[in-house]
């Protein structure tokens, strides 16, 4: 039996049967017609390998030499929690990729819908039936929409109802524009009215909506630029300066703590000496902790800033997921080089 077939059969065991149809429909939205069950097998064994490396590389040295019961319980808990977390991380990245792909496909269909419906109206005005008009209007340049309408036309040709096929197509995608447009057309078909006139009004509304969206996106460009500059440039530079100032303070603390004449003084000088001594004692750890905090804080700020920019430009988070890695990467890289630059400029103070 081929290896691919074995991986596929084993992957089916990781997906409960009641989840297989929803999974197939979800992947179909992303343009994936066959569920890649082998990917679940690869993900499972990858999680086991990563867990094994983390266990013997980091966790096992910490528990070796302890009581056998502690070793057993700690090992069992580590393998369950770590492997589960790794699988969850894999699933998160896969979900993010598929969500972006579905979003792009949906937006592409929304952009192509007015032009496609214009051809449908032309075919209807020329005397074609609605079913034939849908089929005749399919063009390769319509991309995803042409493939979806092809599936609808095939369902109609095999005996399914046109209204039902169009309704199923619209419900597969989370697009209010697509659903409203299809529902209007379906309602007119079922009522026996003039479909061409309704479609023309739908086309007009779609183009007006698209124009308004572009105007709104253009009006918020200044806010996007403002947020991007603050997050990717100003915030890293300020954090770099804060790290350097913190090191300068620790350097002064070391010098004060090492001064021989302060220890015997009373009052405020003695209290200052004691405080500076405690600060100097833990100086290296404090610098390391503050640097770690800076990276985590900048990563968090850039992550949520990418979401904010996505909401401003696209109206939702999924449409701008691509901004998040860009914001995080640029922010952390700028912080790294700003820290080196500022440290070199003020290195004589510590």
CB atoms within 10 A of CB 274: 13
Residues 8 and 116 in one domain: no
Residues 246 and 180 in one domain: no
Residues 319 and 339 in one domain: yes
Q: Of the residues 185, 212, 239, which one is the last residue of a structural domain?
A: 212
Residues 145 and 82 in one domain: no
Residues 109 and 85 in one domain: no
- Residue identified by tokens 């049967």 is 17
Q: Of the residues 71, 87, 104, which one is the last residue of a structural domain?
A: 104
CB atoms within 10 A of CB 180: 14
Residues 160 and 77 in one domain: no
Band (pLDDT 50/70/90 cuts) for residue 323 is confident
Residues 342 and 241 in one domain: yes
3-state secondary structure of 5: helix
Residues 131 and 100 in one domain: no
To the question of pTM greater than 0.85 for the whole model, the response is no
Cα gap 71→67, rounded to integer Å: 6
Tell me what percent of the residues of the chain surpass a pLDDT of 90: 6
Residues 109 and 99 in one domain: no
Residues 121 and 132 in one domain: yes
Closest CA relative to residue 116, chosen from 175, 31, 202, 44:
202
Q: Within its chain, how far is the Cα of 199 from the centroid? A: 36
Q: What is the mean pLDDT of the chain?
A: 81
**Once rounded to an integer, what is the mean pLDDT over residues 149-172?**
81
Residues 119 and 236 in one domain: no
- Which CATH number belongs to the domain containing residue 135 in this structure? 1.20.81
- pLDDT single digits (tens) 196-236: 888 888 888 888 888 887 777 777 777 888 888 898 899 99
Cα gap 155→131, rounded to integer Å: 11
Residues 244 and 171 in one domain: no
Closest CA relative to residue 249, chosen from 213, 282, 216:
282
Lowest mean pLDDT among 75-89, 191-205, 313-327: 313-327
Helices (H) and strands (E) counted in the chain, each on its own, are: 15, 0
- pLDDT single digits (tens) 225-278: 888 889 889 999 999 998 888 887 777 766 666 665 554 454 455 555 566 556
CB atoms within 10 A of CB 202: 21
Q: Of the residues 147, 182, 212, which one is the last residue of a structural domain?
A: 212
Domain of residue 321 covers 220-349
Q: Within its chain, how far is the Cα of 19 from the centroid? A: 23
Q: What is the pLDDT of residue 259?
A: 62
Q: Is the pLDDT score of 48 beyond 80?
A: yes
Number of domains in the chain: 3
């Amino acid at each position: 039996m081929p290896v691919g077939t074995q991986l596929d059969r084993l992957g089916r065991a990781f997906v409960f049967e009641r989840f297989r149809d929803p999974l197939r429909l979800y992947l179909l939205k992303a343009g994936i017609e066959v569920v890649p069950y082998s990917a679940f097998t690869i993900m499972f064994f990858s999680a086991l390998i990563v867990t094994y490396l983390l266990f013997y590389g980091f966790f096992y040295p910490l528990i070796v030499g302890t009581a056998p019961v502690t070793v057993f319980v700690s090992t069992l808990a580590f393998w369950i929690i770590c492997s589960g977390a790794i699988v969850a991380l894999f699933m998160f990245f896969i979900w993010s990729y598929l969500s972006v792909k579905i979003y792009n496909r949906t937006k592409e269909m929304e952009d192509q819908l007015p032009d496609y419906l214009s051809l449908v109206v032309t075919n209807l005005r020329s005397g074609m039936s609605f079913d034939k008009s849908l089929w005749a209007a399919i063009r390769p340049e319509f991309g995803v929409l042409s493939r979806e309408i092809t599936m609808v036309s095939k369902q109609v040709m095999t005996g399914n109802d046109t209204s039902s096929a169009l309704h199923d197509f619209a419900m597969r995608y989370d697009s209010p524009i697509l659903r409203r447009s299809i529902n209007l057309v379906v309602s007119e078909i079922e009522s026996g009215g003039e479909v061409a006139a309704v479609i023309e009004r739908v086309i007009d509304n779609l183009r007006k909506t698209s124009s308004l969206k572009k105007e709104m996106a253009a009006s918020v460009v200044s806010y996007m630029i403002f947020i991007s500059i603050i997050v990717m440039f100003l915030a890293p530079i300020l954090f770099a300066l804060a790290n350097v100032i913190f090191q300068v303070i620790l350097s002064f603390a070391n010098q004060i703590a090492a001064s021989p004449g302060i220890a015997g003084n009373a009052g405020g000088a003695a209290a200052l000496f004691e405080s500076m001594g405690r600060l100097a004692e833990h100086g290296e750890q404090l610098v390391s902790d503050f640097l770690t905090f800076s990276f985590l804080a900048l990563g968090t700020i850039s992550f949520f800033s990418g979401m904010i920019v996505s909401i401003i430009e696209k109206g939702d988070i999924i449409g701008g997921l691509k901004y998040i890695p860009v914001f995080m990467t640029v922010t952390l890289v700028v912080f790294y080089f700003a820290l080196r630059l500022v440290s070199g400029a003020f290195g004589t103070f510590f």
